[in-house]
């Protein structure tokens, strides 16, 4: 199955971002992708952290969700909606940072609210997601059937989650077994991304013996924030399959190979050797 990570350079303009996301989804679909994943905050990178609250949508309604559902249906793809702000009933000063997944028929098939909220302060740059976001509490995964009839178990994570391996272990503890693919839409800062992005992605893939797809924000945004980019696909041995080296928009393609996945897990059955 061919998969695609969409890299973006999102702006404070919601309409503009939705138009660019739709165009990049179409580009990925034309290239043969059956699953397309957008980056964290694909719909909005505001001037202020609170800007996202004005665009928080109720689950099942709003222009962001309508665009995602329509694009998935139009192109017949599994569409991973990066993240968008979901409203919390009775709360106006916080939202969830949420990944929604839509099937080829446009129906919503999965939801994941980001559990681990980023905080960073090096004296020059300061980020504190907990000021405007409420953390989720439940890991999420779904199963898709590709056009050839093969089934793939897909786990969901978001950006800062990459630093918490226990989440990824939890994704493989259900009755469905380990994930075949894990998604990690992100908006890594340039500072942390330069130091740790590739290391974390390859580690999460190899220790869970699965494919990993990481669509990212990349470049200097209108709000002055600089994100690392380098959207990437990694195989179950921890090897890079594809990567975008440049800033700005683009589509990174990779192929999932069931035989490769099985071979890695058979030759080194580490997932069956766990004791804790």
Q: What pLDDT score was predicted for residue 173?
A: 83
Is 194 one of the catalytic residues? Answer: no
Q: Which of 34, 43, 57, 114 is catalytic?
A: 114
How crowded is residue 259: how many other Cβ atoms within 10 Å of its Cβ?
A: 7
Among the listed residues 40, 57, 129, 249, the single catalytic one is: 40
Asked if 108 contacts 81 with a C-beta cutoff of 8 angstroms, the reply is no
Active site residue 52: no
Strand partners, 258: none
- pTM for this predicted structure: 0.97
Question: Hey, where are the domains in the chain?
Answer: 2-268
Per-position DSSP letters for 166-184, written without gaps between them: HHHHHHT-STT-S-SEEE-
Catalytic residue flag (residue 114): yes
Encode the chain (276 residues) as per-residue pLDDT tens digits. Answer: 999 999 999 999 999 999 999 999 999 999 999 999 999 999 999 999 999 999 999 999 999 999 999 999 999 999 999 999 999 999 999 999 999 999 999 999 999 999 999 998 888 888 899 999 999 999 999 999 999 999 999 999 999 999 999 999 999 887 788 999 999 999 999 999 999 999 999 999 999 999 999 999 999 999 999 999 999 999 999 999 999 999 999 999 999 999 999 999 999 999 999 898
The one catalytic residue among 34, 52, 57, 159 = 159
The H or E element spanning position 108 is strand 108-113
In this prediction, residue 175 carries a pLDDT of 76
**Element (H or E) spanning 35, and its range?**
strand 35-37
What is the pairing mode between strands 181-183 and 151-156? parallel
Beta carbons within 8 Å of 138's beta carbon, 6+ residues apart: 112, 113, 115
Return the pLDDT at 114. 98
Q: How far is CA 77 from the centre of its chain?
A: 16
Alpha helices in the chain (DSSP H): 14-30, 63-75, 165-171, 190-208, 258-267
Judge: domain 2-268, CATH 3.30.1370.30: no
3-state DSSP assignment of residue 49? helix
């Amino acid at each position: 199955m061919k998969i695609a990570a969409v890299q973006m350079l999102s702006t404070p303009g919601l309409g503009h971002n939705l138009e660019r996301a739709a165009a990049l989804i179409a580009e990925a679909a034309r290239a043969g992708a059956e699953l397309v994943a957008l980056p964290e905050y694909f719909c909005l990178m505001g001037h202020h952290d609170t800007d996202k609250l004005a665009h928080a949508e109720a689950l099942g309604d709003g222009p962001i969700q309508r665009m995602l559902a329509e694009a998935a249906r139009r192109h017949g793809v599994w569409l991973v909606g990066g993240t968008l702000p979901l409203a919390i009933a009775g709360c106006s000063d916080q939202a969830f940072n949420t990944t929604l997944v839509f099937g080829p028929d446009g129906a919503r098939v999965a939801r994941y609210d980001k559990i681990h909220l980023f905080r960073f302060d090096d004296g020059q740059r300061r980020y504190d997601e907990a000021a405007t976001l409420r953390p989720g509490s439940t890991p999420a995964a779904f199963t898709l059937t590709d056009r050839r009839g093969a089934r793939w178990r897909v786990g969901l994570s978001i950006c800062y989650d990459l630093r918490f391996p226990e989440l990824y272990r939890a994704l493989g503890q259900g009755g469905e077994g380990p994930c075949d693919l894990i998604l990690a839409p992100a908006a890594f800062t340039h500072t942390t991304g330069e130091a740790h992005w590739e290391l974390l992605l390859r580690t999460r893939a190899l220790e869970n013996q699965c494919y990993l797809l990481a669509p990212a924000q990349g470049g200097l945004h209108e709000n002055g924030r600089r994100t690392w980019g380098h959207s990437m696909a990694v195989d179950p041995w921890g090897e890079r399959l594809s990567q975008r080296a440049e800033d700005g928009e683009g589509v990174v393609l990779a192929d999932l190979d069931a035989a490769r996945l099985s071979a890695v897990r058979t030759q080194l059955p580490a997932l069956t050797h766990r004791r804790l």
